[in-house]
Structure 1
């Protein structure tokens, strides 16, 4: 399909976003907003033993992005060595079992897997993925697609390694070759706005630590064989007593807390 036709398709899809957003937010999400003063909120958070680093006050800009199904993985399977490959056409996903499992520890797994990912015969387009500790767990090492427009925290563009008994035994991979900007850039909420709004809405408990606050694109919807992405703040909060972590998602355009996922993905971090 030529690029011009793709643009036309995305323009048609974008005009339906307003209707979809209204229905989606009403039926699938509970949206909460806050008018609390940020400065006083930060002081109150410190009093309640909530730890966090310096909060960025810059608002910044982001886009609605779009992509179409990509066959790049299927077209390059022959480049992979030392693994048993299965390709799922419906999900455009590689499922691989490594012939020689890779031994890793909590201390070295990032460095070890970074070297593995960079080699073309191990991972297709590996240089376009970045380690994501926020999405990784003891049993999974997650890499996300990254590019000039930002990172993609979504199962349509992820590399997920399975860890069993200290060994990486295989992985799944999805890939998006390119993103198309569907609309001119729009202002997004700052990190400080997002964090203070989460606290004001009782989403950050006392005696906890904000481990990560990352901005990334995630899938909003699929329409006309195309995928639409929006910018979302992913905020990981770790309870200091239980050591259990949970990741909250906030629409970066509106500042609304996403109570249920628009794409069925639930993220957690260790």
Structure 2
């Protein structure tokens, strides 16, 4: 028996199998590359439409700018004490007021009402500018996306902002409860938190666009088919608590109406990564 010939037959057969497998592997890689390239070329608007995902308006493609910010939670008890001393009003913020270290809750009886939903921002601004009604009132602006005037328990929300980008975080919030009386929405109570000494931690940086954030959520399967993108907004939110100081980052907030619930997803506007379930890091005092 010609063993050398048999060895050559096995060698050629083995080589043929390997070449065949290699060609299949290369073909699969090329197909995968082509699919990836194809997917990249398909506009996010087309992909949303294919999944019956609706939205209003167009997705902004401009690159806004923002910062890493630091701020200190305001001691509201001290803030009230300082206000009383500065204005020589020992009874200021006494009636109907409950104060914790970083939060104040107050009942309102001045009769301010919202008579026209389209003028909510103006009515709220006028209320916030009244002396003795809300501490640091001039620093807060109306957040329409977080406000609900047509529900059983209507509420409007305001927050501080930095260079026209608002905060969307519980550490800088004015939650105002309303009471529906004779077709008027009367301000009856508010709960407030506040940030002091807001400062830039780094130079201004270009952020990812609104459209980038939508695409990131889509490719990460955070926007269910047949849902609706209810609203989207760029805002600062808490990322780190470092020995009594808060660190905030700019984030794209995207609200998605699934039909049964309204879920709010978050995308880090600096890194373009999903931020929704990222916990706030804490570094305690030594």
Classify the TM-score, shorter chain: 0.7 to 0.9
- Report the equivalent of 2:206: 187
Q: Quick one: distance in 1 between partners of 2:228 and 2:243?
A: 42
Considering fraction of residues, name the structure with more helix. 2
1:171 aligns with 2:183: no
Q: Is the 8 A contact 1:84 1:97 kept in 2?
A: yes
1:146 equivalent to 2:161? Answer yes
Please report the TM-score for the alignment, with normalisation by the length of structure 1: 0.72
* Aligned 1:7-22 pairs, distance under 5 A: none
Give, in angstroms, the shift of residue 163 of structure 1: 3.0
Tell me the residue number matched to 1:47.
50
Kindly indicate whether the alpha-carbon contact (under 8 Å) linking 1:73 and 1:175 is maintained by their aligned counterparts in 2.
no
Other-structure match for 2:64: 60
The match for 2:141 is 130
2:108 pairs with one of 98, 105, 108: 98
Aligned to 2:29: none
- 1:187 CA displacement: 3.0
Note if contact 1:57-1:191 (Cα within 8 Å) is conserved in structure 2.
Answer: yes
1:255 has 2:272 as partner: yes
Note if contact 1:220-1:230 (Cα within 8 Å) is conserved in structure 2: yes
Tell me the residue number matched to 1:158.
173
Shift of 1:149: 6.2
| Contact kept in structure 2, 1:82 and 1:100, CA below 8 Å | no
CA–CA distance in 1 between the matches of 2:159 and 2:146?
9
**Any idea what SS the aligned residue of 1:66 has?**
strand
Q: CA, structure 1 residues 108+101, in 2 after alignment: closer, same or farther (shift >3 Å)?
A: farther
Q: CA RMSD for the aligned pairs?
A: 3.0
1:38–1:192 CA contact under 8 A, matched in 2: no
Change over 3 Å in CA distance of 1:223–1:248 after alignment to 2? same
Give the Å deviation of 1:147: 3.0
Identify if the C-alpha distance between structure 1 residues 195 and 97 changes in structure 2 by more than 3 Å, giving closer, same or farther.
Answer: same
Q: Could you tell which deviates more after superposition, 200-209 or 228-237?
A: 200-209
2:25 corresponds in structure 1 to none
2:33 aligned partner: none
CA contact (8 A) 1:96 1:170 kept: yes
Counterpart in 1 of 2:14? none
Structure 1 residues 237 and 150: alpha-carbon distance in aligned structure 2, compared to 1, 3 A threshold: same
Q: Is the 8 A contact 2:172 2:192 kept in 1?
A: yes
Which of 250, 253, 266 is matched with 1:231 structurally? 250
Structure 1 gaps, min length 5: 1-33, 265-270
TM-score, scaled to structure 2: 0.68
Q: May I ask how many residue pairs the two structures share in their alignment?
A: 227
**Counterpart Cα distance in 1 of 2:162 and 2:200:** 13
Tell me which of 182, 202, 209 is aligned to 2:221: 202
If you compute each CA radius of gyration, which structure gives the higher value, 1 or 2?
A: 2
Whole-Å separation in 1 of the counterparts to 2:95 and 2:230: 35
